[in-house]
């Protein structure tokens, strides 16, 4: 009777191969970078994307106006901790104060000088988390032909479903000095006709396309 050693050998070889395979696989998993979700591209919906601005008039009332129909894109994975990146622009021609005459003044050379500097742009360069879906976004703001770094307080206000797919909303707050951007008329000359500090509230909504974390 011949002892049957072949079967245990096969079992041993199979087990060894399986163990080595498992070890390789687990090693590979440990070494490979953890996979992150691809960001969705959120194209702004001009109807629901506006920037409100507030400035003090004659040291008295706080005057509000808006830039309608903001354009641009936001890239975001839609994960609460991952910061979005912004590339947004507003046309000076879309300034709306509720007064045609004031709109014309704002577009004139004493303020935005729309003939030479027709757009305001913001491009984010980085962000730090400030809470759940809340970030302090750093970026370059180009206004009146001057580009300066600014920090914007941004919150993702919600993710919903619209007729065209996923809708994402953000609200961003920013306060700046217009004199930093070369817009000085009315601050000292004529004295205190208009304030230097401008508060901006930017409401963004867009349709998300792509991404892997939806």
Partner 1 sequence: MNYLVSVVLLPILVGSGVASAALLGPLRQRAAIIECCVAYGLAIAFLISFVREVDLPALLRQLPVELKDDDAPFERWHQLGLVALLLAIVSPTLALLTAALPAQRKAIVITATLLAACGVAALVTFPGASNGSRTLFAVVCALSSGAIAMCGLRTALGALAVSCFGMAVCAVMTGFPSLAIMCVAVAGTAGSIALVACWRRSPRMHSVAGAISVVSGTLVGTVAACGEAYASGNLPNWTWNALAVGVPVAGALLYRTTTSSTPS
The minimum distance between CB 124 and partner 1, in angstroms, equals: 21
The residue (of 80 and 190) whose beta carbon lies closer to partner 1 is 190
The residue (of 89 and 105) whose beta carbon lies closer to partner 1 is 105
Letter string b/e over residues 103-125, b meaning 16 or more CB atoms within 10 A of that residue's CB: beebbeeebbbbeebebbbbebe
CB nearer partner 1, residue 77 or residue 107: 107
Minimum CB distance to partner 1 smaller for 80 or for 145: 145
Smallest gap, in angstroms, from Cβ of residue 122 to partner 1? 17
Q: Which is nearer to partner 1, 100 or 132 (CB)?
A: 100
Residue numbers at the binding site for partner 1 (CB under 8 A): 100-101, 104-110, 113-117, 144-146, 182, 184-185, 189-191
Report how far apart the first and last C-alpha atoms of the chain are (Å, whole number): 66
- Residue in 212, 213, 204 with CA at minimum distance from that of residue 42: 204
Q: Which residue's entry shows tokens 């070890």?
A: 23
Task: Let me know: does 52 contact 66? Beta carbons within 8 Å.
Answer: yes
Minimum distance, C-beta of residue 109 to partner 1, in the bound complex (Å): 5
Tokens 């041993």 found at: 12
CA gap 146, 107 in Å, rounded: 16
**Nearest C-alpha neighbor of 139 from the set 74, 82, 198:** 74
- Find out whether 63 and 57 touch, Cβ atoms under 8 Å: yes
Q: How far is the CB of 186 from partner 1 (least distance, A)?
A: 9
The minimum distance between CB 177 and partner 1, in angstroms, equals 13
């Amino acid at each position: 009777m011949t002892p049957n050693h072949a079967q245990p050998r096969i079992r041993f070889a199979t087990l060894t191969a399986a163990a080595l395979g498992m070890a390789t696989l687990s090693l590979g998993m440990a070494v490979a970078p953890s996979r992150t979700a691809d960001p969705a591209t959120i194209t702004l919906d001009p109807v629901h994307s506006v920037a409100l601005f507030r400035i003090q008039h004659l040291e008295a009332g706080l005057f509000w106006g808006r830039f309608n129909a903001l354009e641009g894109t936001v890239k975001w994975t839609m994960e609460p901790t991952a910061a979005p990146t912004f590339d947004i622009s507003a046309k000076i021609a879309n300034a709306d104060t509720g007064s045609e005459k004031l709109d014309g003044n704002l577009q004139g050379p004493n303020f935005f000088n729309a003939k030479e500097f027709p757009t305001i742009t913001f491009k984010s360069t980085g962000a730090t988390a400030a809470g759940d879906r809340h970030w302090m976004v750093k970026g370059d703001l180009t206004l009146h032909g001057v580009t300066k770094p600014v920090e914007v307080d941004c919150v993702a206000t919600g993710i919903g479903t619209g007729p065209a797919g996923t809708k994402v909303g953000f609200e961003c707050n920013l306060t700046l000095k217009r004199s930093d951007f070369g817009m000085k008329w009315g601050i000292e000359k004529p004295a205190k006709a208009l304030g230097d500090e401008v508060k901006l509230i930017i409401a963004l909504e867009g349709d998300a396309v792509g991404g892997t974390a939806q």
